[in-house]
Structure 1
Amino acid sequence: MFTTLRVTLLSLLVLGLSIARTASAETTIGLEVVAEGLTAPIAMAAPDDGTKRRFIVEQVGTIRILMPDGTLKRRSFLNIRSKLHRLESFFDERGLLGLAFHPDFKTNGRFFVYYSAPMSAYAPFRTRLYWNHTAYLSEFKVSKDDPDRANPLSERILLQIDQPQFNHNGGDVVFGPDGYLYLSLGDGGYANDKAIGHGPEGNSQDPATLLGKIIRIDVDNGEPYAIPSDNPYAGKAGHREEIFASGLRNAWRMSFDPGGQFGLIAADVGQNSFEEVNVITKGGNYGWNKKEGTHCFDPDNPNEHPAQCPD
């Protein structure tokens, strides 16, 4: 599913470039191996610190450094395997899922990760009994003695999110040009946003939960963070103030348009029929589970799309 989407997007990119150039010009695109020997690499980030290092996130709980000369450092930058929920070898959506460096990483050494851990002992009893795991958004700092090593004892937990199922975790972490941290969160899992831990209307449409949302927080103020004053639900009772956008099924990856024209762009994994690439706007609602893509959706009959959407 993911491969097909990428190939399609790349094909559209090539087509666009070809149209923009003269008919005689040729545009080619290919793949080049830059690192080997990794285990489930799922994300990569590069701090704006002048070192040209690339940090590769392995789902199993480690972050590796790809040096500018193309060598992959044998020793991990960060290893939090012991903190993770046990992962199933055949298939799992949990793990170490996201990494973002603070815009001032060069001077403050701060970076942020999102990972799946065993269910918190502080969760309500019924949650501990029936739900699957707890996800953490945490801050770490680089070691004072070695720029290629994080200090594993520096963890500061910003946010804990109990997850009812093992899948649909989202987990991408990025900083926006506004200096705020953005985190994508899936609807909690299973399918159709309908199962244990999903309300009558689903999690994605419920403003009282962070599941199925993209959130935005200020990690430079407050304890453990502050709410930006222009967040859509800032100061609104019954709503999670962290929410920036809602109605997402599993916004797996997102990034800001470096040209600045489109702002935040997120890829949202569909149910059975449609994938989405959305331009994310403040307060935007992207429809799930009332819609899949631009089509109406019935969680009780997910393979048929009704002519009219539920209210």
Structure 2
Amino acid sequence: MRTLPHLTLALIASVTASLAGPIQLKTLSHKFDKPLWLGSPAGENSKVWVVEKEGMIYSYDLATGQPKLFMDFTSVIDVQANEQGLLGMAFCPDYSSSRRFYLYYTDADHAVKIARFRADASLMTADAATKEELITIDQPYKNHNGGWLEFGPDGFLYAGIGDGGAANDPKDAGQDLKTHLGKILRLDVSVEKSYSIPGDNPFVNDDKALNEIWAYGLRNPWRCTFDAKSGDLYIADVGQNHWEEINYLPAGSAGGANFGWRLREGLIETPNKKAGGKKPAGAIDPIHVYAHGSAAGEGLSITGGCVYRGKIKSLDGHYFFADYVTPHVWSFKVEAGKAAQLKDWSNILKAENGGLRSIASFGQDGQGELYIVTLAGWIHQITEQN
């Protein structure tokens, strides 16, 4: 088992596993094809939407268990590498009236694109021909594409962008404010065409930085989330060789946060000094890290999750996350700015069809209930035990 740095030991020692385990998994009846995202528009309590990696989007009726095609985007999606495809989706907060939604995907040139679409009057189907591309980000390599889109409590659209790929951030994108790579972007998409820059974005008056940037120093943010109740932001960032991390910004935080990559991986200087160094002035350490390995509490590739806000009172306010490679699911609750009540659910949450491997995403329905999305095709809802 790996030896953890002193600071990490102190962090883990400060949390407890006080939660009981009165929960189980309920598997949705339909098996999807490489699903990567689940969510629903504001005010929708009976259905969830599921995005498949190859470009299909379905609505799923939670009562009947029946999927319905929402949009076919396969003619645009070109998956040439494992981390490419249709990666994320976000419904406009006023979707019921504007009919607008947004997709995050990679194209045939392995560039990252964010585009706006409009559903038909029924809100239940959409035509790919309504596409309006908002932003294109060239990727020097075919991995670390990011994929997170979400509207924040301020009404702006946030996007999590990877560092461009390869290993050790060879373009030094994470710390370079003249590229969108390795960043969280913040866009005002309330305008009729394209987007505008929010006036309080941190670099809006800095000619040495791109105005869209909200935060930086990230390697491959794979699933971030705003807590639906508090507005706190959780950013899961996939590590290089040693550490997986979760970064945290409380609601109302000013933009401009630096999470350290490539100068930092987890709580340490980047290994071997191949690409790294001392902690940048003002950089923010993660709220939680775990080491690479297969032992309890370890893993190899983080999948960020959501803060539970459903009907199970003992879970309220707990942030769930997982590891893509190893079958681990954990949760913690932020108390006084620190990760507390750390719980490993791996021996409690058992799937009906072969386990919880390849956890690619988490999602929530309109009631705040939590779903685990696996690339194998199955989606599991966390429910109370019968």
TM-score (norm 1): 0.79
Tell me which of 163, 167, 173 is aligned to 1:203.
173
Q: Are positions 1:105 and 2:95 aligned together?
A: yes
Shift of 1:50: 3.4
Q: Are positions 1:272 and 2:241 aligned together?
A: yes
Q: Helix, strand or coil: the match of 1:165?
A: coil
Equivalent in the alignment of 1:95 = 85
Equivalent in the alignment of 2:119 = 142
Shift of 1:42: 1.1
Q: Are positions 1:82 and 2:58 aligned together?
A: no
| Matched letter for residue 30 of structure 2 | E
Shift of 1:300: 5.4
Could you list the runs of 5+ residues in structure 1 that have no partner in the other structure? 1-11, 19-25, 120-132
Q: Helix, strand or coil: the match of 2:144?
A: coil
Could you list the runs of 5+ residues in structure 2 that have no partner in the other structure? 1-12, 282-386
Deviations 1:192-225 (A, max 9, x none): 101xxx1xxx001000000000000000137410
**More strand as a share of residues:** 2
| Matched letter for residue 49 of structure 1 | G
Equivalent in the alignment of 2:199 = 229
Tell me which of 243, 258, 279 is aligned to 2:228.
258
**More helix as a share of residues:** 1
Query: 1 or 2 for the larger relative contact order (CA 8 Å, sep ≥6)?
Result: 2
Tell me which of 221, 246, 269 is aligned to 2:216.
246
Partners of 1:193 and 1:299 within 8 A in 2? no
| Matched letter for residue 277 of structure 1 | I
Distance 1:309 1:183 in 2: 25
Distance 1:152 1:248 in 2: 31
Distance 1:42 1:310 in 2: 33
Distance 1:57 1:33 in 2: 17
Distance 1:167 1:35 in 2: 32
Tell me which of 24, 34, 38 is aligned to 1:30.
24
Q: CA RMSD in A?
A: 2.4
Shift of 1:134: 1.4
Tell me which stretches of 4 or more aligned residues in structure 1 moved more than 3 Å.
14-17, 298-302, 308-311
Distance 2:101 2:229 in 1: 24
Shift of 1:136: 1.0
Deviations 1:4-37 (A, max 9, x none): xxxxxxxx9x95553xxxxxxx433322201432
Pairs within 5 Å for 1:148-163 = 148-163=124-139
Distance 1:310 1:221 in 2: 36
| Matched letter for residue 86 of structure 2 | L
Shift of 1:259: 2.8
Q: 1:53 to 1:15 in 2, by over 3 A?
A: farther
Partners of 2:54 and 2:79 within 8 A in 1? no
Partners of 2:37 and 2:51 within 8 A in 1? yes
Shift of 1:71: 1.8
Aligned length: 265
Distance 1:159 1:55 in 2: 24
| Matched letter for residue 136 of structure 2 | Q
Q: 1:217 to 1:69 in 2, by over 3 A?
A: same
Shift of 1:263: 1.5
Tell me which of 179, 189, 199 is aligned to 2:165.
189
Distance 2:163 2:143 in 1: 9
Deviations 1:15-64 (A, max 9, x none): 5553xxxxxxx433322201432111111111113352100111111111
Equivalent in the alignment of 1:126 = none
Distance 2:180 2:52 in 1: 25
Partners of 2:183 and 2:216 within 8 A in 1? yes
Q: 1:192 to 1:149 in 2, by over 3 A?
A: same
Partners of 2:146 and 2:162 within 8 A in 1? yes
Q: 1:212 to 1:271 in 2, by over 3 A?
A: same
Q: Helix, strand or coil: the match of 1:76?
A: strand
TM-score (norm 2): 0.64
Q: 1:223 to 1:152 in 2, by over 3 A?
A: closer
Q: 1:299 to 1:192 in 2, by over 3 A?
A: farther
Q: Helix, strand or coil: the match of 1:275?
A: strand
Distance 1:222 1:239 in 2: 26
